[in-house]
Structure 1
């Protein structure tokens, strides 16, 4: 999602030097995400900076550091141990995920089934499979995020075509249209879906 915000100009296009203020502004302006969530996400992102979190900035490239926030069993990327590339979009992996998106609107159950299937596939195919508790939380949060951001917070569904476009293109079809999520997203909303 942060790559998408950089592609839309809400974060630096270079993906470097992202501050707390930029993070809060980007998440609020583009996605209507509450400041408390933005602060928490920024704090986690700082842990990926190899210079330490005292710098007050992170870069998108650092987010791909394996087993910090980046985790095995991604919905759209191969496990690091199997390809040494856990950053690039992987069509084969995403096809496994898409198999669970069986209607025009993705439901919470479909998102959960896709997530579980990726966990199981990763455990089967990756002898070095690892999922930290933080990775597990982020993994669940990623699914909640696309349901909220691409869809309807009240029905907890998202149009399949929007979600697929977001994963493949790192652009938001909603951002292209200049629309904004209608409801302020708070941490309690994310917890309810997860």
Structure 2
């Protein structure tokens, strides 16, 4: 890693730390005023949703795709500046300015582009093991589906169907919980590893995957009624606003208080599923021996 990159990242994290402290000591934004006045989505009024056309560019990221579908980013998903991504993600989802600089700058680095001068198409950021990774909650692995701009609806429905939380503010409303997401993430990792002969998931991408899961909790509050159109149609529901009301948005530091425990729980469930799978295989092996009248003992005797 270049010294300049390390220095830049260090400055961003210091900036983020001070924003985190500032959020603690300043009052939150009022409900209905999270999206700034004059920006798309202010007071819950989102631009018209238009599904992507055949030649439009889309990515593995539902958040960016939704912004393009509403015209907050160019609808064709092409020639987007990293600075525009920074500004619009900030106003749309209330991530902190430090967060909104760090992620586009990281993506620019992956694509070997200049954050300040270059542009990108949404499909470009689906480069494998960049921000795209195996065992996604909303996409088939790239081994099975090269077009990562397409949501895989069965995964999404299974995820939303696993929601176990209840919304105290809206009777009958169901919420995804951190435990729901950890369990389903573990299931996806286990199944993807078994089905994909080219499966890979580094520690970094495991944590990045948990960051994506944490976004569903922190930005959307886990509310299934909002997540269904967002994840399946990549459409922002009318009247929606981010759950995060911190005055300077969701910082990297604050976000990690959700991400890291979620990742720890996910890995715990992965180990549990792996152990259960091993036990089932062992039981099946023993039963097969018994069904044929063959045991490990008499195999040894026969060979002798």
Residue matched to 2:137: 75
Structure 2 residue corresponding to 1:162, chosen from 199, 223, 226: 226
Is 1:123 the counterpart of 2:193 in the alignment? yes
RMSD between superposed Cα atoms in Å: 1.9
Is 1:191 the counterpart of 2:261 in the alignment? no
CA deviation map 1:131-159 (0-9, x unaligned): 134422321111111211111xxxxxx21
Distance across 1 between alignment mates of 2:239 and 2:113? 35
Distance 1:58 1:138, change over 3 A: farther
Residue matched to 1:91: 153
User: Residue 220 of structure 2 contacts residue 226 of structure 2 at CA under 8 Å; is this kept in 1?
Assistant: yes
Structure 2 residues without counterparts, runs of 5 or longer: 1-62, 166-173, 260-304
How many residue pairs get matched?
A: 184
1:16 deviation in Å? Answer: 1.9
Q: How does 1:36-185 map to 2 (within 5 A)?
A: 36-49=98-111, 52-54=112-114, 56-103=118-165, 104-151=174-221, 158-173=222-237, 176-177=238-239, 179-181=241-243, 182-183=245-246, 184-185=249-250
Distance across 1 between alignment mates of 2:106 and 2:205? 11
CA deviation map 1:49-103 (0-9, x unaligned): 3xx3135322211122222221100101111112334331112332443343234
Distance across 1 between alignment mates of 2:180 and 2:198? 27
CA deviation map 1:156-182 (0-9, x unaligned): xx2112112211011121xx2263442
Structure 1 residues without counterparts, runs of 5 or longer: 152-157
1:40 deviation in Å? Answer: 1.2
Larger radius of gyration: 2
1:192 deviation in Å? Answer: 0.2
Distance across 1 between alignment mates of 2:124 and 2:208? 16
Residue matched to 1:29: 91
Q: What is the TM-score when the length of structure 2 is the normalising length?
A: 0.56
Distance across 1 between alignment mates of 2:70 and 2:185? 27
